[in-house]
Amino acid sequence: MSTTTGSEPVRSAPRRGRPGYDRAQVLEVAVTLFNEQGYDATSVSDLASRLGLTKSALYHHFASKEELLSLALDEALDGLENVLERPDASEGSPAERLAAVLRGAVEVLVDKLPYVTLLLRVRGNSDVERTALERRRAFDHRVTALVVEAQRAGQVRDDIDGAVATRLVFGMVNSLVEWYRVGGPADRDRLAHDVVAIAVDGMRTR
């Protein structure tokens, strides 16, 4: 808005107020802080301070700290669960579908690194965390079923336990949160290729 004095426009001073965050931006900052300090050790006051908001302004966006945690974990879990519904994960041989799921899991981890990092740190200390762990287990069971299917088809070795193989493979995938850095020397596609090569090709029958 402006007023004029003679022929020269005079701009009104900008209105001062709280920073303009939307829900997605608040959630992103919350996840960063949860990962830095630990969810349990992070207070609503800590988050409001990081954002430069009052606690009442923060509650305008989210009802509670637990709601932030729930939405953050959903972000990671929805991404992983959607991998199972992709065409390349539901078509082709069992070994091909398994490779597609692992490739997709790496892509989700890279694209949603802070959210997956938070997911991997939950320990079941609340209903929200226990629900997230149940969803993780359900995802792991579906991957295990793919390993077993590939074994029965003679495409991967049958001298290893499917559940153990799934844990070992996802132990490797999940370790990426400890060392992978966006913009580093390993890009997402190369990383996904290498994980599949080591995991699936390593299990193939000769």
> Computed from CA positions of residues 177, 110, 144, 119, in that sequence, does the dihedral angle turn out positive or negative?
positive
- Full set of structural domains in the chain with CATH: 18-63 (1.10.10.60), 66-203 (1.10.357.10)
In this predicted structure, what is the pLDDT of residue 13?
38
For residue 53, give the amino acid letter.
Answer: L
The reported pTM is 0.85
pLDDT higher at 170 or 3: 170
What integer pLDDT is reported at residue 19 of this predicted model?
52
**CA distance linking residue 148 with residue 87, whole number of Å:** 20
**Tens-digit pLDDT profile for residues 117-151:** 999 999 999 999 999 999 999 999 999 999 999 99
Give the position of tokens 């800590």. 46
Q: CB under 8 Å to 27, separation ≥6 — which residues?
A: 62, 68, 71, 72, 75
> Measured at the alpha carbon of residue 116, what is the angle toward residues 35 and 126, in degrees to the nearest 5?
70
**Of 40, 34, 37, 38, which Cα lies nearest the Cα of 125?**
40
The pLDDT score that the predictor gives to residue 183 is 80
- Separation of first and last alpha carbons in the chain: 74
Could you give the CA distance from residue 63 to residue 40 in angstroms, rounded to a whole number?
A: 17
Q: pLDDT digits over 2-57, tens only?
A: 444 444 444 433 333 345 788 999 999 999 999 999 999 999 999 999 999 999 99
pLDDT for the residue numbered 204: 80
Give the per-residue pLDDT at 21. 84
In degrees and rounded to multiples of 5, residue 185 shows phi and psi of -70, -25
Residue 16 pLDDT: 35
pLDDT band at 205 (very low <50, low <70, confident <90, very high): confident
CA distance 123 to 107: 24
pLDDT value of residue 199? 86
> Over the stretch 174-190, which tens digit does the pLDDT of each residue have?
999 999 888 878 889 99
Burial of 120 (0-12, 13-18, 19+ CB in 10 A): middle
pLDDT value at residue 132: 98
Please report the pLDDT score of residue 186 as a whole number: 81
Q: What is the residue whose two structure tokens read 């959607």?
A: 82
DSSP assignment string, 76-95: HHHHHHHHTTSHHHHSS-HH
pLDDT of residue 12: 37
Question: What are the pLDDT digits (tens) for 67-104?
Answer: 999 999 999 999 999 999 999 999 999 999 999 999 99
Helices (H), 84-126: 87-90, 94-111, 113-121
DSSP summary character for residue 86: S
206 — pLDDT class (breaks 50, 70, 90)? low
